[in-house]
Amino acid sequence: MTAKALDVGLFVTCLVDLMRPVVGFAAVKLLEDAGCAVSVPPGQTCCGQPAYNSGDRGSARRIARQVIAACEGIEHVVVPSGSCAGMIKVHYPELFADEPETAARAEALARRTHELVSFLAGALEGAGIDAEYRGAVTYHDACSGLRELAIKEQPRALLRRVRGLELKESREAETCCGFGGTFCVKYPDISESIVDLKVDDAIASGADTLLSGDLGCLLNIAGRLKRRASPMRVRHVAEVLAGMTDGPAIAEGRGG
Amino acid sequence: MQITTPSFKDNARRALGDSDLRRALDNMKTGFVGKRLLAVERLPEFDALRDDARDIKEHVLENLDAYLERFEARVKEQGGQVHWCRDADEARRVMLEICRDAGARTVTKSKSMIGEEIAINEHLEANGIEPVETDLGEYIIQLRREPPSHIIAPAIHLSKEQVADAFRQKHGQFPGDRPLDEPRALVDEARAVLRQRYFDADVGITGANMLVAETGSVVIVTNEGNADLTMTLPPVHIVLASIEKVVPTLEDAATILRVLARSATGQEMSVYTTFCTGPRRSGDADGPEAFHVVLLDNGRSALLGGEFHDILRCIRCGACLNHCPVYSAIGGHAYGWVYPGPMGAVLTPGLIGLEQAADLPNATTFCGKCEEVCPMRIPLPKMMRYWRDREFEARLTPTLSRLGLAAWTFLALRPALYRVATGLVIGILGALGRNRGRFRRLPLAGGWTAARDLPAPQGRTFMRLWAQRRRGRP
Ligand code: SF4
């Protein structure tokens, strides 16, 4: 551990907060094991993507302002989602292009914000990762993380340090899963056809578990796998890296 | 061409149920996508070339009037004519006039998306002039009387069996039991039919991939050589081009050609790249006696300098279509007008109006693949989002979405209330879904559960569990 612990604030994201808190705790564990002092800024709710991607810039700006205020004074803001991190890093500064003062604060926040896996692999150099996972895993490169934040090698580098884990690449790892936020409910037929390709491809990889860094995609993929009665398990990559895989995988129950 | 964009959702549903179409689209993916990747890997400076190509077009757009005027002057010096047309109507009128003056009964045409945009074929037919498409794909869809489904491969939605059926139906001059199983046989038959049509044509109409301001040349690329026959055999050549096609110099044209074919089909160059400059000069072996360029605006100048400016850099390579998960699922016809896929989702609302095309900028996952492959570095997702902004402002967004969004924003801006409300809902859903871990059906979640189960939440929110942990309670 370094002399002074890094000050990290977790922006947990609305989906993790509401749907799968274990991902948040996995993130906290990973950060703490790597020597960070983790806080959770209380004023956070959602990053504003639903409004932003629906054309409601006014609401997106109001929510962004709230996030900027909530994260003020925190040295590093870490987000367990490529698309929410991308929202803060790439899109917040754009949102305030006509408001120099807020834009400057947005840019400062953008610089201090990191997607979880790239922060663990980058600034923290993979420190403290100590986990075991018995299984063959395939990794889905969620679009925003891949194309906005260049997250590609980082999760794989970290997964290679997990004992017992075998990584099986899918041919179409970089292809969209068809989630797209509200896209999947506005155009369910098209989304179904896209997620089917993703699911076929993941199954063809021979893996028994699919991991990714974005809960939206994971809910979509897991939901489709279950509808097709596939036994493939789906988890957020942080759960595996933190060794927190005792509970049920996504869309799996306790009651069998 | 009839616009069916307003019924995008129904079009898409129908397309998804069409197994021939699905097979054809699968082939497209393995073909175009794989070949582009190989071509790009073979050219280490590809990304630098993309920057150059973007800069060239950007410079042109900033000085569009000057370059168009220079182009016009060069064309005139060489004995050609340039017709400036504000909209589709004007362009159709001008072209019909030229055809009538030439006493035309048939015209040959090489592939032109602008021709589709202004529906020139329908207009000529209505006025007793027969247009004959000479690009094989265009010829096939003309026989079938349907619009193109892809901007560089108009018949990509068809299987070779469907093409053979169309040939049997329309080519009564051949024996009914001839073998048409091999693509070669289809190509040979089309060639045999078209050969005479080239000689009979009174006017040849081509599109243009670029217009070169420095020389007044028109650049046309094809893989079949059909544009060359279309422009050199008839006595009159009409070039139909939109205003943003102009580039300053031959050198610039060469730069753009280097990214065009690689992005489109993975070829280093298209098989035929033709520069044609003015009508036949004395001493030329061939070429038309009259040379016309119809320069079409049709809403483009209104996009200059605004939020959608960047789409005017588009060179119609089709890479964004080939790589789009939505286009790959539903094909081009579902988009309901001339331009499908990501570039269509940006351009179409600008050309036919947002009301008609309201679905297009929404029917995308924002996966960003289109921008990643676009040789002209056009930020397509960003511009689709701009259209969504406009829809929201114009209250074109469906009421239910607006209400849902308003409720979510209201809560999101009140963290204390948000914790209580979400905690309640999540608690209930968590308890209901605890055993199975998912729902097959849930009120208000029909959009989600139509195709997938809804994973159940774990039951307590992170924020609540975190607060408990801080207080030292498990
Ligand atoms: S938008 Fe880009 S990728 Fe799409 S057709 Fe135009 S130039 Fe090609």
**pLDDT for A255:** 65
Residues from chain A contacting residue B363 (CB–CB below 8 Å):
183, 186-187, 190
pLDDT tens track for B423-445: 999 999 999 988 899 998 887 78
A59 in contact with B, Cβ within 8 Å: yes
- Smallest CA–CA distance, residue B454 to chain A, in Å, is 6
β partners of residue A36:
A6
Q: Which of B263, B326, B347 is the best mutation target for the ligand 1 pocket, counting ligand atoms within 8 Å of the beta carbon and taking the most?
A: B263
Does B70 sit in the ligand 1 pocket, CB within 6 Å? no
Q: What angle do CA A194, B384, A176 make, to 5 degrees?
A: 20
Percent over 70 (pLDDT), chain B: 100
3-state helix, strand, coil in chain B (%, to 5): 55, 10, 35
pLDDT confidence of B197, banded at 50, 70, 90?
Answer: very high
- Ligand 1 centroid – CA B52 distance (Å): 15
Q: Which of A13-22, B30-39, B327-336 has the lowest mean pLDDT?
A: B30-39
> What domains appear along chain A, each with residue ranges and CATH number?
7-121 (no CATH), 132-241 (3.40.50.11810)
Does B312 sit in the ligand 1 pocket, CB within 6 Å? no
Does B376 sit in the ligand 1 pocket, CB within 6 Å? yes
pLDDT value at A186 more than 60: yes
Among the listed residues B64, B428, B41, B423, the one whose alpha carbon sits nearest the alpha carbon of residue B243: B64
Q: Over the range A116-143, which residues count as b (16 or more CB within 10 Å of their CB) and which as e?
A: bbbbbbeebeeebbebebebebbbbbbb
Tokens 């004959």 — which residue? B132
Task: Report, as an integer, the average pLDDT of A58-85.
Answer: 96
Residue B110 to residue B139: CA distance in whole angstroms: 9
Is A223–B455 a contact, with Cβ atoms under 8 angstroms apart? yes
pLDDT value at B474 more than 60: no
Could you give the 3-state DSSP secondary structure of residue B177?
coil
Residues from chain A contacting residue B440 (CB–CB below 8 Å):
227
Residue B184 to residue B346: CA distance in whole angstroms: 37
Residue A73: how many other CB atoms lie within 10 Å? 9
Q: How far is CA B19 from the centre of its chain?
A: 23
Could you give the 3-state DSSP secondary structure of residue B222?
strand
Among the listed residues B259, B232, B211, B269, the one whose alpha carbon sits nearest the alpha carbon of residue B134: B232
What lies within 8 Å, CB to CB, of B346 at 6+ separation is B308, B311, B361, B378, B380, B383, B384, B387
**pLDDT for A241:** 97
pLDDT value at A4 more than 80: no
Residue B356 to residue B444: CA distance in whole angstroms: 27
pLDDT value at A2 more than 50: no
CA torsion, points A20, A26, A32, A33, in degrees to nearest 10?
180
Judged by phi (left if over 0) then psi (alpha if -120 to 50, else beta), residue B350 lies in alpha
Tokens 């069916």 — which residue? B4
**pLDDT for A5:** 86
Does B318 sit in the ligand 1 pocket, CB within 6 Å? yes
Task: Report, as an integer, the average pLDDT of B46-61.
Answer: 98
Could you give the 3-state DSSP secondary structure of residue B465?
helix
Long-range Cβ contacts of B3-6 (<8 Å, 24+ apart): B3/B336, B3/B337, B3/B352, B3/B356, B4/B336, B4/B337, B5/B335, B5/B336, B5/B337, B5/B348, B5/B352, B5/B356, B5/B357, B5/B359, B5/B360, B6/B336, B6/B356, B6/B358, B6/B359
Residues from chain A contacting residue B460 (CB–CB below 8 Å):
21
Q: Whose Cα sits closest to atom 4 in ligand 1?
A: B320
Task: Report, as an integer, the average pLDDT of A149-159.
Answer: 96
**pLDDT for B272:** 94
In angstroms, the Cα distances linking A226 to A198, A218, B436 are 14, 12, 11
Does B194 sit in the ligand 1 pocket, CB within 6 Å? no
Residues from chain A contacting residue B12 (CB–CB below 8 Å):
187, 189-190
For chain B, how far is it from start to end, CA to CA, in angstroms? 66
Phi, psi of A114 (to 5 degrees): -140, 140
**pLDDT for B325:** 96
Is-contact B32 B266, C-beta < 8 A? yes
CA torsion, points B11, B15, B16, B21, in degrees to nearest 10?
-170
Q: Which of residues 100-139 of A touch B (CB under 8 A)?
A: none
What lies within 8 Å, CB to CB, of B327 at 6+ separation is B321, B340, B341, B342
Count, residues in chain B: 474
Judged by phi (left if over 0) then psi (alpha if -120 to 50, else beta), residue B136 lies in alpha
**pLDDT for A147:** 96
Signed CA dihedral, A59, A61, A63, A65: sign only: negative
pLDDT tens track for B281-319: 999 988 999 999 999 999 999 999 999 999 999 999 999
pLDDT value at B66 more than 80: yes
**Strand order of the sheet with strand A36-39?**
A36-39, A6-10, A76-79, A113-115
Does B343 sit in the ligand 1 pocket, CB within 6 Å? yes
Residues from chain A contacting residue B452 (CB–CB below 8 Å):
192, 195, 220, 223-224, 226-227
Residue A120 to residue A73: CA distance in whole angstroms: 21
Residue B347 to residue B412: CA distance in whole angstroms: 34
Q: Class assignment of domain B31-298?
A: alpha beta
Q: Whose Cα sits closest to atom 2 in ligand 1?
A: B374
> Alpha-carbon Rg of chain A, whole angstroms?
18
Residue B70: how many other CB atoms lie within 10 Å? 18
For chain A, how far is it from start to end, CA to CA, in angstroms? 42
Residue B212 to residue B249: CA distance in whole angstroms: 6
In angstroms, the Cα distances linking A219 to A47, B221, B326, B363 are 18, 46, 20, 20
pLDDT confidence of B396, banded at 50, 70, 90?
Answer: confident
Task: Report, as an integer, the average pLDDT of A195-202.
Answer: 96
Residue A196 to residue A84: CA distance in whole angstroms: 25
Q: Give the 3-state DSSP-derived string for B114-167, with helices as H, strands as E and coil as C.
A: HHHHCCHHHHHHHCCCEEEECCHHHHHHHHCCCCCCCCCCCCCCCCHHHHHHHH
β partners of residue A115:
A79
Q: Which of residues 196-215 of A touch B (CB under 8 A)?
A: 197
Residue B450 to residue A96: CA distance in whole angstroms: 38
CATH 3.40.50.10420 maps onto chain B at 31-298
